[in-house]
Amino acid sequence: MGREGRLFLLAFFAVFFIASAKPKLKNLNPVVLIPGDGGSQFKAKLNKPNTVASYCIKKTTYYYDLWLNLEQLAPFLINCFVDNMRLEYDNKTRTTHNSPGVDILIPGFGETETVEWLDHSEISLTTYFHNIAKAMISWGYERNVTLRGAPYDFRKAPNELHGFLDSVKSLIEETYYKNNRNQVVLLGHSMGNPVTLYLLNHMTSAWKNKFVKSFISLAGVWGGAAKPIRLMISGDNLNVPIVKSINVRREQRSMPSTAWLMPSDEFWDPDEVLVVAPTRNYTVRDYKQLFKDINYETGYMMWEDTHSLINPLKAPGVEMHCLHGYNVTTPGMFVYTNKTWNKSYPKTIPDNGDGTVNMRSLIGCLRFREQQKQQVYHQEFLGAEHMQILNREDVIAYLKKVLVSQR
């Protein structure tokens, strides 16, 4: 054999071994990632009539990173961030709108980058779905082909997300047809799960039977959580030490999704105290009075708009895998002792859950077993915190078993 022939064989075998080293998994069920509250990047363009401080930028000629932008959380600058991120409520149309002069763009729909990372700089602090996506690529998935992302305006509840939900429906159909008509798996985290449930509840059985293989829920908020009450009253610094909770309250309480995720009266008894204040206690029956007493009655209107969107719970009508953590200290009740309690931070009485969502809400998916013929699988993970569940090796191993190993 001549020199050229030997070179040809070497090249052939090199290509063969490189190709054989990659997974060759045909007919994978494609996956759409649906993030939760805070799980989508935001960009903003400004043309503001005024600003909350002289150092805040009033106008930009380009879209800049708004969420998550760690620089925006610095002292002083956070005041600009809150004003740009907040929503204004129209009590006539019962809808919300961006802060005046702020144009919000949610980048990357259909792609995975903006749900893998919360900051486009991709520093480790801002990882979101990345570790799951990285594992899936090693199993044979391909970004933006068999693995898609559905970022959205997480400030809003499904009653204001119809355009997004229509786009998700189209994305599911497009992904199905582009992948050999393989049914799509919907993989949600946190608030992304009740958003997905709302979508599935509004689709026909015929559509779901054709396009959806299964629904995998990570840390689903099926019956609300106590923590959003604290956001409404006091704000929450989201464990960022340099941020004061009260400074971000204006933005957090302006989000209809915060009202939507408050404890449901399907999961909390009417006599269970959620808030202890100097003059009275509050339960799920007392939301109207609570919002009046904290001087934020807009919050009650947003609760009225959203509380029945998935209440009572209705099964998704597709195979489901419900995964969540437990035995993580989770806010359960809030005790205020200061006379100006609606401006102070409470003592928090702990409950069982995943650090964010209470246990009773996490296991709400078990109610679906009696409502649908499709299988509902349930798996608990000891100590799996609400965000860290996205990075747990045992959780990723479960996903591999469902998505790949059973094929």
Specify whether the CB–CB gap between 234 and 344 falls below 8 A.
yes
DSSP output for 341-406: GGGS--EEEEEEEBSSSBHHHHGGGGGGGGT-SS-EEEEEEET--TTGGGT-HHHHHHHHIIIIIT
Burial class (CB in 10 A: 0-12, 13-18, 19+), 356: buried
Which residues have a Cβ under 8 Å from the Cβ of 47 and sit 6 or more positions away?
A: 58, 59, 60, 101, 103
Active site residue 321: no
CA angle, residues 372, 376, 377, in degrees to nearest 5: 175
| CA distance linking residue 294 with residue 297, whole number of Å | 8
Active site residue 99: no
Q: How far from chain centre, in Å, is Cα 169? A: 18
Burial class (CB in 10 A: 0-12, 13-18, 19+), 17: exposed
Cis peptide before 331 (omega within 30 of 0): no
Question: For residue 117, what are its two tokens?
Answer: 């990372």
65, 119, 236, 354: the active-site residue: 354
130, 189, 307, 386: the active-site residue: 386
**β-strands 87-90, 95-98: how paired?**
antiparallel
190, 234, 245, 361: the active-site residue: 190
Cis peptide before 68 (omega within 30 of 0): yes
Q: Which residues pair with 354 in a beta bridge?
A: 328
**β-strands 376-382, 319-326: how paired?**
parallel
Active site residue 324: no
Catalytic residues: 190, 354, 386
